[in-house]
Every structure is written in C-alpha cells, then in structure tokens.
Chain A
Amino acid sequence: MSLQDHIESLTVDRDEGVVSSVDRNKAIAIAVFLVPGLTLFGIFSVGPIVYSVIGSFFAWETFTMEEFVGLDNWIRSLTDPLIIHWSNMRELRYPMGALTHNLLWVVVHVPASTFLGLGLALLFADLRGRRILRSMVFAGFTVPPIVIGLVLLFVYDPQAGIFNELLRVLGQDQWVRNWTQSPQVAIYALIAGGIWVHTGFSMLLYSSALSAIDPSLIESAKVDGANAWQRFWDIIWPLVKPVTAVVVIMGIIWVMRMFDIVYAAGGAAGGPNHAYSVLGIEVYRAAFRPEIDYGMAMVVALIQLFIVAPLALYIARMN
C-alpha cells in the first residue's frame, strides 16, 4: 500500500485534477467504511472511559458531577479497607481488600492454569480422539461464568456437594464445610474453580502452538537418544515459549475482570463480610448499590485498567 501511495504522490504534479478526485473518492470511501463502527465504538466504549477518567477527579452527588476535588476520590479509594485492608493483611486474615484478592488470583490462578494448560496440551497432543478430549476440557470456557459460579456453589455445598463427599470418602471429615461461605478458605475454593474453567483456554493456545511443531524434529531427537525431558526442554519449550507470554497475559486480564463467578458465589457483597470481593464487585457496589459513590467506582475501575494496560501494549509490541 505504501508503494501505491508513493506512486500516487509521484503523479500529483502531472495530473492534478484526476488525482485529487481519486484522493477525495478514497477519503470518502474510508469515511463510509469507518464512521458507523467508530461512532458506536466512540460513544459506548471510548466516551465512557474518558468520562470515568475525568469523573474520577470530581465530587459526585449520586449520578451528577459536582465540583473538582483533585485526588480526593483516589486517596479515599486507595485507603478504603474494602480495596486494601492493611491491618488484616498483616495478620493474613480475610478480607484483605479487593485489590489484594485480585492480586492473589493473579499469583495463584495464572501460574496454575498456565502449567495445567501446557500439561494437558502435551498429554493430549498425539492421542487419537484428542479433539474430543480437548473439547471436554475446554467446554467450561464456553459456559456462562455465572453458571460456573453456581456450579462451584453446588460442588462445595456441605451436603449436596461432591467435593465434601470426596473428603468424607477420604476420611478427612474435619475438612467438610461450606467452602464458598467460609471466609478464610473461600477465596482458594473459588480460585480452584477459576483454574478449572480457564485451563481449557490455556490448553487450547498451547495445543495450537504444539501442532505447529514439525514432528520430524522430535523424531530426529528421539533417534539421537534424547529422553522425554530433554525433548521437551530443548525442542518443544523454545517453540511454545512465545505462546506462554500470551497465555499468562490473557490469564491476568481474565482474572482482573473477575466478576460473575464471585457474584454468583457471594452476591454483591463479595462473600460473607466481603471475604473474597474483587475490584469488579467493588465498582458495581460503589456505582449501583446505596450508598452510591460514583467517584470511587471510577477510580477502582481505572485501577483495574492500569494493571492490565501495560500487558495489552506488550502484546501489541510483540507483533
């Protein structure tokens, strides 16, 4: 295309009238193609984000913007124990604040679902019927997340839940409890559920990277006497390493957006006494449940964006 432009700019001197009408036609065509989509995108995506950025520096009377207050909302939100609960964090007691919970999700969920995804991708890679096996693991990712949250409630139920039944069968009766409603362990129970759903997605990305590897490479390594571990470390890992960056970043984005599963398990409070609330839940409660605090909602949503924005730009730079 740049060559095309170059030629067009060369012809400008020779035949100005024709070229300018071509240029105008082209500009009109570009506008016709772009404007409908970008208008809606601007009104319903870009606009509200800009609105949130501006609004985070203003005082709010429920849904109406009042006067400029500088960093007030920011300071108030970041010192709110619902977002970061310093004293509980020192004692490692939940709730530790939504931001802390979100970061805990990142630290536990993302590595676990990445490793499991790679493991399952390797396990299924050369099996007959791998398409069905993969689909079984991936299916959870196509189910509404709100259903996932309800399924977790069901699985962890003290009477009807199969997880507690498993504990009983294993003779660990002292551990039987309502996992999603016990403040000190519930977040781990939910993270386990998150891993269960999200591993399928990681596995899918790894599987497509693995299937791009030339089998003759692995065969020749076998002939040369490399064992399974060496084959993985020397051939497969270098080739799937770039995918790992994508898997990890998509995992972080997914976890930072966490809302439905937590809402299904703990309602708008994010569990008993906010025990496993996340940032998304705090935005929702601040914005749409009394006491309405639009300023805080905007700040918390922007914190969510700040954490993932560098990652998205990193993906962009990789291309």
Chain B
Amino acid sequence: MTEDETHESATARDSSAGARPDGGYLSVEDVPERAPTVNRSWRARIAENIPSKRRALKYAVAITVAVLWIVPFLGLFMASLRPLSEIIGGWWHLEGMTITFENYYRAWNYSTAPLGRALLNTFIVTIPAVLVVMLLGVMAAYPFARFEFPLKTALFFLILLIMAAPPELVAMGNYNALHEIGLFDTYMGLILIHIGWGLGWVVLFLRNYLLGIPEELEEAARIDGASRYQIFRTIILPLSTPALVSVAVIQFTWVWNAFFFPLVFMRSPELYLAPQVLPLMRGRVQVEWGVIAAGSIMTMAVPVILFVLLERYYKRGMVAAVAD
C-alpha cells in the first residue's frame, strides 16, 4: 500500500511538472557547472556545448520514435478521408490529394449494420455498465477496506483469480444463463455481463484506495452519531472521487472497446455494437479500406478523446490498478 501511494504521488508530481509552462526552474542537467566567465577559450566553449548537443540528439530520437509510433494511426486517418483509388496507390503520396467525407457517410449508413446505430447501441450499453459498476464497486470495496467479515480473504483471492481469467471462460455459462432468463440478445443482458465482469477489478482497486484514507475522519463522525450509511455517503464517497473518476474512465474504455462479449451475446444486426460492425466492413472482393478507416476513426474517437481529457486519471488508475 505504501508503494501504491508512492506511485500515485510520483505520477501526480510528474504530471504537474510536465504541465508547468516554460517559466519553471531549469532542470538539473541544464544548470551550468560554473558561473559564466567573460573570456572563455574556444576549447572551453566547445566542451560546454557537447552535452547540449547530446541532449538535442536525445530530443531528436525521442520525437522521431513518438512520431513513428503513431504513423499507422496517421495512415488510418488519411485513408478515412481519401477515395479508395488513392488509398491503394498509397496514402503517403500527398500530391493530388482529394479530401472526401464519402467514407464517413458510407460507414455511418453501412448496409449490414449502420455504424450510426451501432455507436448509439455502444453508448446505451456502456453508460449504465460504467455507472452501476462505480456505485456497486465502491459499496463493496468499503467493507473490504474497513471491516472484518467471514470469508474476506477467500473472497479477496477469488476476485484476484478472476481478474486474471480470460473473458472466454465466462462466455459459455453466461450464454446459457442469459437464454434461461430471456435476456440473450438484449441490451440488459450485455450490460449485466459487463457489470459482473468489471466488478472484480473495481472492488480491488477501490479497496486499495480506501485503505489510504485515514480512518480518524470516520471515527470522528461516528462519535458525532453518524450511521455507517451516513459515513459512507458523506465521507467515503466524496473522498474517493478521484479514484471513482479513474474507474469511470478505465471501465468506460474497457466496455466501449470490448469485442468478444458483444460478438457472443448480441446477434441481431440492429443491436450490434460498433466494434462488432468494423470487421464486417472488410467486403468480399476488394477490401474497402476507406470505409473501414472511417468506421475505425469514429469508433476509436470516443475512448481516445476521453483519454486525452482525463489522461491523468487514466494513467494513475492504470498504474495503481496493476502495481498496487
């Protein structure tokens, strides 16, 4: 747990340093060894310049690597905006480039399963799955962090084990169960499965976070006569907001991006989720790169925008969730 806190505070410190505008202090490497003297020999000047050149090289390498890393996505974006003939000729040829939104239009109204509808379906499934997991997760995490109860350790290990399990393992049982209760091929069925699957890591993650909240606050409230439910609502919930935001971002990304569960549990084309529709767009003879690219951009835009907006919570949550 102390390790966890170090990580979190370190990440926080780190990102605040990164966010600081240029007016900050020089970093240690940039501070010269001595005060500048007026009459330096050319030899000394060259010697002083060498480290900065090395540093410039390091910047060049770092920026090159980072740009190369996103080249495939750049290609995807370019392909989504160009007609098929230009994509086959190579999206990297920029001369005579035609920009068209035809691909987006066709993906949005794709004949087998329109992506517009699929994106709506994805929202319908993702939002309740995230909200319910947050609420039930923090409720279940509270006793795990604060109280002793029978089977606590066993439950704890069970949750850990299931966190490592592949989603394929629960597919067969859930398939039969959803058929049994008549929720197969419905929003509700898929939502319930995402909730059940997500609760494991959310409970563990929030438990670790709650362990870091000092108990004195709750004890003070109890002396004032607050019930356990009041303590939960007025102390625990507000204090765990940052962790809940992390949970929301990561769980949203996971449910939105999930492909296997919808593939198994959503069979009517009008209920297809967006990740399910994308591989259908490959076409028979000639792969329709433009349509696939446009559909992919629209589908990935939601989690990527969320990541950009709530980057700190996302990264902090990721690190804390696995390195706790």
Which residues on A sit within 8 Å (CB–CB) of B229?
Answer: 29, 32
Are B10 and A154 closer than 8 Å at their CB atoms? no
Which residues on B sit within 8 Å (CB–CB) of A287?
Answer: 171-172, 175, 264
Beta-carbon nearest neighbor of B296 in chain A: A147
A308 touches B (CB below 8 Å): yes
Stretch in contact with the other chain, from B13-21, B35-43, B98-106, B113-121: B13-21
Residues of chain A from 260 to 315 with CB closer than 8 A to chain B in the complex: 260, 263-264, 267, 279-280, 283-284, 287-288, 294, 297-298, 300-302, 304-305, 308-309, 311-313, 315
A7 touches B (CB below 8 Å): no
> When the two chains form the complex, which single residue of B14, B67, B72 contacts A211, counting CB atoms closer than 8 Å?
B14
> When the two chains form the complex, which single residue of B70, B169, B289 contacts A49, counting CB atoms closer than 8 Å?
B169
B235 touches A (CB below 8 Å): no
Are B172 and A294 closer than 8 Å at their CB atoms? yes
Beta-carbon nearest neighbor of B249 in chain A: A142
Interface centre among B143, B147, B164, B173 (most CB of A within 10 A): B164
Residues of chain A from 169 to 218 with CB closer than 8 A to chain B in the complex: 196, 200-201, 204-205, 207-209, 211-212, 215
Given contacts A37-B199, A302-B169, A304-B169, contact A319 B324 (CB under 8 A): yes
Given contacts A33-B142, A150-B292, A302-B169, contact A205 B323 (CB under 8 A): yes
B176 to chain A, nearest CB (A): 6
A1 touches B (CB below 8 Å): yes
Interface centre among B19, B172, B227 (most CB of A within 10 A): B172
Which residues on A sit within 8 Å (CB–CB) of B71?
Answer: 162
The CA of A302 and the CA of B168, in the complex, are separated in Å by 9
Given contacts A41-B199, A127-B59, contact A145 B259 (CB under 8 A): yes
Given contacts A5-B148, A260-B259, contact A44 B323 (CB under 8 A): no
Are A204 and B58 closer than 8 Å at their CB atoms? no
Q: How many residues of B contact A (CB 8 A)?
A: 113
Residues of chain B from 177 to 197 with CB closer than 8 A to chain A in the complex: 177, 179, 192-193, 195-197
> When the two chains form the complex, which single residue of B136, B263, B315 contacts A36, counting CB atoms closer than 8 Å?
B136
Stretch in contact with the other chain, from A12-20, A77-85, A130-138: A130-138
A219 touches B (CB below 8 Å): yes
Are A135 and B311 closer than 8 Å at their CB atoms? yes
The interface residues of chain A, by DSSP majority, are classed as helix
Are A1 and B147 closer than 8 Å at their CB atoms? yes
Are A49 and B173 closer than 8 Å at their CB atoms? yes
Residues of chain B from 265 to 324 with CB closer than 8 A to chain A in the complex: 275, 278-279, 282, 287, 289, 292-293, 296, 299-300, 303-304, 306-308, 311, 314-315, 318-319, 322-324
Are B137 and A37 closer than 8 Å at their CB atoms? yes
Are B318 and A257 closer than 8 Å at their CB atoms? no
Are A160 and B90 closer than 8 Å at their CB atoms? yes
Which residues on B sit within 8 Å (CB–CB) of A55?
Answer: 172-173
Are A2 and B318 closer than 8 Å at their CB atoms? no
The CA of A201 and the CA of B306, in the complex, are separated in Å by 17
B149 touches A (CB below 8 Å): yes
> When the two chains form the complex, which single residue of B148, B161, B228, B299 contacts A144, counting CB atoms closer than 8 Å?
B299
The CA of A251 and the CA of B75, in the complex, are separated in Å by 27
Beta-carbon nearest neighbor of A36 in chain B: B136
The CA of A159 and the CA of B85, in the complex, are separated in Å by 11
A246 touches B (CB below 8 Å): yes
Stretch in contact with the other chain, from A67-75, A105-113, A118-126: A118-126
> When the two chains form the complex, which single residue of B161, B195, B278 contacts A313, counting CB atoms closer than 8 Å?
B161
5 contacts between A and B (CB under 8 A): A37-B140, A146-B275, A162-B72, A259-B259, A284-B263
Which 4 pairs, one residue from A and one from B, show the smallest C-beta to C-beta distance?
Answer: A44-B196, A48-B173, A312-B164, A37-B140
Known: A150-B296, A153-B282, A243-B323. 14 other contacts (CB 8 A): A2-B148, A34-B149, A37-B139, A40-B196, A49-B165, A133-B63, A139-B70, A146-B259, A155-B72, A159-B88, A208-B319, A212-B6, A215-B28, A264-B278
